[in-house]
Amino acid sequence: MNRLTLILTSLALSASLLPTPVSAQAGPQTCVDSCITLCATDPDSPDCPDPPNEEGCNAQCGIAPPTTPPETSVGAPAPTPPPADVPRTLQNPLGTSDLRQVIGNIVRALLGFAGAGALLMFVWGGFQFMMAAGNPKNVEKGKLTLIWATVGLVVIFSAYTLLDTLIKALSG
């Protein structure tokens, strides 16, 4: 029964990811085509724009006329560079020029990844524990995953706290 539920749920989720056909909707080009057809058959119709041609139909349907890029000659002059006396600066993307602060920022980012990894391991251990279905070997695997994820977090954050305290004491 449990396996059947899992299979049916998997099939339902897989089916929801399949592409679904979408019917085409009338767009601006259909508006222009019907306008041109109307003007060709009945140019005196009140729905026919003035002038009764493709440009008028484009304007009536809200389509901007196509623009052509300005023509350039082969011998056109190159754009002039900015004056040499204008100072140019490059922003520091790190926010600091102190190497210790840069290393501290990197360590904080790595701790964030460690926390995310520990969260994933907690979820995986819980999944193993729940899916053990009474099998003592699989229950033990789930417990060990949860225990080692906790131990890993304690070691990582204890090391960070110890080093941070030590560095502050020595530099302070």
Q: What is the pTM of this model?
A: 0.43
Let me know if residue 4 belongs to a domain.
Answer: no
What confidence tier does 24 reach under pLDDT thresholds 50, 70, 90?
A: very low
* Structural tokens at position 48: 């026919």
The total of structural domains in the chain comes to 2
Question: Is there a single domain that holds both residue 105 and residue 155?
Answer: yes
Let me know if residue 162 belongs to a domain.
Answer: yes
Please indicate whether residue 150 or residue 92 has the higher confidence score (pLDDT). 150
C-alpha to C-alpha distance for 144 and 126, rounded to whole angstroms? 10
Question: Is there a single domain that holds both residue 105 and residue 167?
Answer: yes
C-alpha to C-alpha distance for 141 and 132, rounded to whole angstroms? 9
pLDDT (tens digit, 9 = 90+) per residue, 31-67? 777 777 777 777 777 777 777 677 777 777 767 666 6
Sequence-distant (6+) residues with CB within 8 A of 122 are 146, 149
Average pLDDT, the chain: 78
Predicted pLDDT at 154: 92
What confidence tier does 21 reach under pLDDT thresholds 50, 70, 90?
A: low
Let me know if residue 109 belongs to a domain.
Answer: yes
> Which domain does 139 fall in, by range?
99-171
Please indicate whether residue 74 or residue 118 has the higher confidence score (pLDDT). 118
